[in-house]
């Protein structure tokens, strides 16, 4: 129990120091990382823990983002945290509404169905101009400060403040999901991934459990979307509902390490770093990330997070072989 506490305290201290050590540019990069990581971990709950590949997770991200944009535009004076939580709840609700259909299918059929729902929402939001602003999206609302009346008031347009807002929410969300995987229901979730039939015959309700997982995953994807909206002060179909928004966290999971909890966070960081490095050559960026993706899938199927273990195994093997050769000689 002692060691994790030390780790956690260390990580929190580093996170708290970042905005004061780095400039606003890199602080903003960390905000994007927080959003991406939260989003990727919520998708990973489906992919690595329930064994379901979703091609439409942007649906929840988009609902959260549009929810926050609409609430902040039309309900002036609402506390920012309430707005963000309501948006995340809206995404969870979408998960609940779709779950009667989603729980019925598995494997490829599930993937295709999520793709269809994701694209459906994209088209709906493009066409429903009166509410969503169509292609232009929603922008220009005034984001209220993060405030407790009489105690403090933080202007979220300040990089430092939005940083703590985004990173704080992302940490809480990721921690909640991590805890979820450790609970009895988390065990049921993992067991559904491994053998749905057996879970059924042991007396667990597979369908209802999956529905709860969809809500849960949708909630945190929506939370990420809402933070995105607050951070960018702009929500458009291209930015939050496009199919690439669904693929981005999928890439992060595969590059970071599928089947692990923290891999997607590492993957999000690596992809963002790559994007920054190749920023000067935008036409090359996609190609480079594509090549890296292929290389990881082919040569490091466990993702970047498995790199250390692979290196250690290789080193041990080398040492063993050297010893064997010496004893032979």
Partner 1 sequence: MNVLQTKGLSHHFKGLQVLFGVDLQVRQGEHHAIIGPNGAGKTTLFNVITGTYRPTGGQVVFKGQDVTGLAPYKLARKGLGRSFQITSTFEKQTVFQNIRMGVMSRRGIRFDFWRRVAGMDGVTRETEEILAGIGLVAERDVLACELSYGKHRALEVSMALSTDPDLVMLDEPTAGMSKEETHATVELIKRLTKGKTMVMVEHDMDVVFSLADRITVLYYGAILASGTPDVIRDDQRVRDAYLGDMEFSHAF
Candidates 54-62, 121-129, 164-172, 191-199 — which segment interacts with partner 1 by CB under 8 A? 191-199
Contact indicator for 137, 234 with CB cutoff of 8 Å: yes
Whether the CB-CB separation of 163 and 32 falls below 8 Å is answered with no
φ/ψ of 134, rounded to 5, equals 55, -135
DSSP assignment, residue 319? H
- List the one residue from 141, 163, 164, 204 that touches partner 1 (CB under 8 A): 204
| Both structure tokens of 124 | 């709906």
- Tell me which of 15, 115, 206, 292 binds partner 1, using CB under 8 A: 206
Q: In the complex, what is the shortest distance from the CB of residue 48 to partner 1, in angstroms, rounded to a whole number? A: 11
CB of 197 to partner 1, least distance (A): 6
The values of phi and psi at residue 128, to 5°, are -85, 65
15 versus 176: smaller Cβ distance to partner 1: 176
Backbone angles phi, psi at 272, to 5 degrees: -65, -40
Q: Which of positions 290-309 make contact with partner 1 (CB under 8 A)?
A: none
Binding of partner 1 by 236 (CB under 8 A): no
Task: Report which of 44, 39, 32 is spatially closest to residue 223, judged by C-alpha positions.
Answer: 39
CA geometry: angle 235, 237, 243, nearest 5 deg: 125
* Residues 159-188 interacting with partner 1 (rule: CB under 8 A): 179-180, 182-188
* Choices 106-114, 199-207, 239-247, 302-310 (CB under 8 A): range interacting with partner 1: 199-207
Q: Which residues of this protein are in contact with partner 1, per CB under 8 A?
A: 179-180, 182-188, 190-191, 194-195, 197-206, 208-209, 212
């Amino acid at each position: 129990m002692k060691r994790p506490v030390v780790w956690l305290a260390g990580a929190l201290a580093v996170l708290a120091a970042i905005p004061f050590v780095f400039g606003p540019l890199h602080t903003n990069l960390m905000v994007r990382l927080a959003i991406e990581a939260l989003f990727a971990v919520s998708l990973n709950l489906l992919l690595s823990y329930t064994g379901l590949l979703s091609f439409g997770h942007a649906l929840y991200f988009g609902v959260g983002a549009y929810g926050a944009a609409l609430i902040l535009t039309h309900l002036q004076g609402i506390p920012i945290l309430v707005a963000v939580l309501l948006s995340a709840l809206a995404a969870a609700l979408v998960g609940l509404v779709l779950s009667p259909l989603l729980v019925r299918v598995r494997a490829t059929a599930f993937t295709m169905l999520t793709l269809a729902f994701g694209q459906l929402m994209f088209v709906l939001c493009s066409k429903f101009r009166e509410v969503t602003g169509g292609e232009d999206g929603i922008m220009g609302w005034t984001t209220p400060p993060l405030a407790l009346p009489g105690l403090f008031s933080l202007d979220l347009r300040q990089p430092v403040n939005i940083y703590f807002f985004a990173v704080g929410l992302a940490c809480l969300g990721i921690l909640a999901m991590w805890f979820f995987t450790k609970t009895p229901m988390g065990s049921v979730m993992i067991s559904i991934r491994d053998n749905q039939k057996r879970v059924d015959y042991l007396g667990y309700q597979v369908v209802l459990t999956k529905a709860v997982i969809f809500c849960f995953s949708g909630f945190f994807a929506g939370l990420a979307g809402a933070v995105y909206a607050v951070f960018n002060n702009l929500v458009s179909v291209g930015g939050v509902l496009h199919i690439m928004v669904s693929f981005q966290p999928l890439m992060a999971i595969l590059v970071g390490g599928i089947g692990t909890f923290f891999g997607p966070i590492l993957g999000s960081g690596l992809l963002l770093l790559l994007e920054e490095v190749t920023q000067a050559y935008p036409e090359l960026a996609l190609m480079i990330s594509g090549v890296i993706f292929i290389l990881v899938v082919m040569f490091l199927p466990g993702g970047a997070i498995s790199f250390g273990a692979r290196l250690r195994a290789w080193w041990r093997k080398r040492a063993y072989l050297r010893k064997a050769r010496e004893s032979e000689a």
